[in-house]
């Protein structure tokens, strides 16, 4: 069906269970409440030359999309951004000072910056400029071709000069949230945005020289049919984004209040959803898109595709990335940092986040120190998701173990998947086959020490 994919609906139905998307291992639900910010301070101050990746979370949205499962605050009050920005700059100051406290100010270079949300363009052009100028005064940013400076954009929340302002500030990648161009679907999820608006922002971003443009779509939304989503996809393909994320709608109304406004009876049946995703893979493949993995597709000349070919692809909290060798510093409410073996998540509650900063404390809510076993399993899970294989000899030398003995139980559990042709195990490697690519999460879950027999209902299904 595609260069590296076999579509087998019956096999998918058999294996399609809920599970983590593994943007980290251990996953964020294994983080535990932090009694103090000391461990994070130590991790930030650690003397190393490792490059940095900065993630800044801007939680505000002017409107609510009923399907949304993101960490956001819906408000029309633009003044809330003033206070938020003030606190965010203070958090930047605190963390930048700690990174520098190892004696060589500004030694560590920022190779990646991502503004996510919520809706980062809830901030005005002046506020975005103030934020980026503040960051560049506190950190050294790489000027290399490969540096990645990106932002998530809701096309409805874009001032006439915002894209130009962002480009002038150094952003070189944009991601547009679209979800679906069908009006009935848009109305049902309270996100009406005309197709012309999307074409317009795409053209504008291209003309300004953004080097990679991503579009987010969601399948499984109310009133979507195979026919309607085929039409949506054809329209999007004709806009030729460099990357496409086609997310499976995670409908968890008990967790996300706005989803209660979506009637279960309006959602497409499981068989229709499966047909939609099958069609998407087929059409994107025919249009020349490479299937990177999970929900991600990219044109062959996009960095995501070339990084995968060269074995340089990584995964972090933003999904697939070309800069996995960085320490990640999260800034803003709910953001997550990954510093060496340490994960630290900020308060998800705005007032708790502010109160910590008011008290000159890092706003650390939860944390987790990865141990030796976590690192072995992380290496396997990320290897399977990014490179579709793991080498036993590499595991042995990297972690000083006899990996086949260490993973005896897991390899035994994989016998069924191997018999079904989803994986292949030989003396040297464990590989994901073309037939197993869409079930890769299921293979990963076998190596997840925290998933055995636990409740996976809080996670979404692969398809
Ligand atoms: C923070 S939003 C993107 C930026 C901006 N707020 C927007 O909506 O355009 C991140 C993306 O998550 C995806 N998303 C949100 N809720 C989801 C859900 N319940 N299931 C699957 N994908 C979801 C959407 O595709 C959305 O574009
Ligand atoms: S999808 Fe984007 S704009 Fe819509 S509510 Fe979620 S974060 Fe806000």
* Residue-level pLDDT at 106: 61
Q: Of ligand 2's atoms, which has the minimum distance to the CA of residue 118?
A: 7
Which residue is listed with tokens 């944390």? 367
**pLDDT reading at 305 higher than 90:** yes
Task: Name the residue of 60, 66, 72 to mutate for ligand 2: max ligand atoms within 8 A of Cβ.
Answer: 72
- pLDDT band for position 306 (cuts 50, 70, 90): very high
Residue ranges of the domains in the chain? 9-329, 372-463
The arithmetic mean of pLDDT across residues 125-146, rounded, is 96
Q: What is the pLDDT of residue 368?
A: 97
What average pLDDT does this structure show over 220-238? 98
Q: Whose CA is nearest to atom 7 of ligand 2?
A: 118
Average pLDDT of the segment spanning 128-135:
98
Domain 9-329 shares a fold with domain 372-463: no
Q: Which residues line ligand 2 (CB under 6 A)?
A: 61, 64-65, 68, 70, 72, 117-119, 154, 177
Query: Which residues surround ligand 1 with Cβ inside 6 Å?
Result: 67-70, 116-117, 119, 152, 154, 177, 179, 216, 218, 247, 249-250
Mean pLDDT of the 425-435 span = 96
Which CATH code fits 9-329? Answer: 3.20.20.70
> What φ, ψ does residue 350 adopt, rounded to 5°?
-60, -45
Segment 268-293, tens digit of pLDDT: 998 999 899 999 999 999 999 999 99
From 62-66, 138-142, 201-205, 456-460, the region with the lowest mean pLDDT: 456-460
Cβ-based neighbours of 18, under 8 Å, separated by 6 or more: 456, 457, 458, 459, 460, 461
Of all ligands present, the nearest one to the C-alpha of 259 is 1
331's tokens: 């800034």
> Torsions phi, psi of 267, nearest 5?
-80, 145
Q: DSSP strand E in 280-426: where? A: 290-293, 296-298, 314-316, 319-321, 327-331, 336-339, 342-346, 364-369, 389-391, 423-425
Do you find a cis peptide bond into 227, omega within 30 degrees of 0?
A: no
Q: What's the pLDDT at 130?
A: 98
Q: Cis before residue 118, ω within 30 degrees of 0? A: yes
The tens digit of pLDDT for each residue in 3-37 reads 678 888 888 888 888 889 999 999 999 999 998 99
Do 387 and 432 contact (CB within 8 A), yes or no?
Answer: no
pLDDT tens by residue, 150-199: 999 999 999 999 999 999 999 999 999 999 999 999 999 999 999 999 99
Q: In testing the pocket of ligand 1, which one of 181, 222, 247, 259 has its CB within 8 Å of the most ligand atoms?
A: 247
- Name residue 113's beta-bridge partners: 54, 149
Alpha helix positions (H), 259-349? 270-286, 303-309
Q: 131 CA distance to ligand 1 centroid (A)?
A: 23
Q: Considering every ligand atom, which ligand is closest to the CA of 294?
A: 1
Residue 293 pairs in a beta bridge with 296
What is the percent of the chain with per-residue pLDDT over 70, rounded to a whole number?
Answer: 95
H or E segment to which residue 407 belongs: none
User: Given ligand 2 and candidates 68, 121, 255, which is best to mutate, with the most ligand atoms within 8 Å of its CB?
Assistant: 68
Count of residues in the chain = 463
Residue 42 banded pLDDT, cuts 50, 70, 90: very high
Say if CB 46 and CB 323 are below 8 A apart. Answer: no
CB contact set of 123 (below 8 Å; sequence gap of 6+): 58, 81, 85, 131
Helices of type H across 178-302: 183-188, 195-208, 226-239, 270-286
Query: 294: which 2 tokens?
Result: 């999970």
Q: Count the neighbouring beta carbons within 10 Å of the beta carbon of residue 335.
A: 26
- CA 181–ligand 1 middle distance (angstroms): 15
**65: CA distance to ligand 1 center in Å?**
9
pTM: 0.95
Centroid of ligand 2 to alpha carbon of 119 (angstroms): 7
Strand partners, 286: none
Q: How many whole angstroms separate alpha carbon 427 and alpha carbon 440? A: 20
Ligand having the closest approach to the CA of 57:
1
What digits encode the pLDDT tens for the residues 346-360? Answer: 999 999 999 999 999
Tell the CATH topology of 372-463. Answer: Arc Repressor Mutant, subunit A (1.10.10)
Do residues 228 and 259 touch, judged by C-beta distance below 8 A?
A: no
Query: Which candidate, 168, 88, 170, 172, places its Cα nearest to that of 122?
Result: 88
């Amino acid at each position: 069906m595609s260069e590296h994919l076999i579509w087998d609906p019956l096999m998918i139905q058999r294996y399609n269970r809920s599970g983590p998307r593994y943007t980290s291992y251990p996953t964020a639900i294994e983080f535990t409440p932090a009694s103090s910010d000391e461990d994070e301070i130590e991790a930030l101050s650690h003397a190393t030359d490792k490059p940095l990746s900065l993630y800044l979370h801007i939680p505000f949205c002017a409107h609510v999309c009923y399907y949304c499962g993101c960490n956001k605050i819906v408000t029309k009050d633009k003044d809330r951004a003033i206070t938020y920005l003030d606190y965010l700059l203070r958090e930047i100051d605190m963390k930048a000072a700690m990174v520098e406290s190892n004696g060589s100010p500004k030694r560590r270079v920022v190779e990646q910056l991502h503004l996510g949300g919520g809706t980062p363009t809830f901030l005005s052009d002046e506020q975005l400029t103030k934020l980026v100028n503040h960051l560049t005064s506190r950190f050294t940013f790489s000027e290399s071709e490969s540096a990645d400076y990106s932002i998530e954009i809701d096309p409805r929340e874009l001032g006439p000069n915002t894209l130009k302002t962002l480009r002038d500030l150094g952003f070189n990648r944009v991601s547009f949230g679209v979800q679906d161009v069908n009006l009935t679907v848009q109305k049902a999820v309270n996100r009406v945005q005309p197709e012309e608006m999307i074409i317009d922002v795409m053209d504008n971003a291209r003309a300004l020289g953004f080097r990679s443009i991503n579009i987010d779509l969601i399948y499984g939304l109310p009133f979507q049919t195979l026919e309607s989503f085929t039409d949506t996809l054809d329209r999007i393909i004709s806009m030729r984004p460099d990357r496409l994320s086609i997310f499976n709608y995670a409908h968890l109304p008990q967790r996300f209040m706005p989803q209660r406004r979506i009637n279960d009876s309006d959602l497409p049946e499981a068989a229709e959803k499966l047909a939609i995703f099958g069609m998407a893979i087929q059409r994107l493949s025919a249009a020349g898109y490479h299937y990177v993995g999970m929900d991600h597709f990219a044109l062959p000349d996009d960095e995501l595709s070339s990084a995968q070919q060269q074995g340089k692809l990584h995964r972090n909290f933003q999904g697939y990335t070309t800069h996995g060798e960085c320490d990640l510093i999260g800034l803003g409410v709910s953001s997550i940092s990954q510093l060496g073996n340490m994960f630290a998540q900020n308060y998800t509650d705005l007032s708790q986040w502010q109160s910590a900063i008011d008290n000159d404390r890092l706003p650390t809510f939860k944390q987790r120190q990865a141990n030796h076993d976590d690192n072995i399993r992380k290496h396997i899970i990320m290897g399977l998701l990014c490179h579709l294989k793991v080498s036993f000899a590499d595991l042995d030398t990297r972690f000083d173990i006899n990996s086949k003995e260490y993973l005896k139980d897991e390899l035994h559990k994989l016998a069924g998947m191997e018999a079904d042709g989803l994986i292949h195990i030989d003396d040297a490697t464990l590989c994901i086959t073309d037939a197993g690519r869409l079930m890769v999460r299921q293979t990963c879950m076998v190596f997840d020490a925290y998933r055995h027999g636990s409740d996976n209902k809080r996670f979404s299904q692969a398809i």
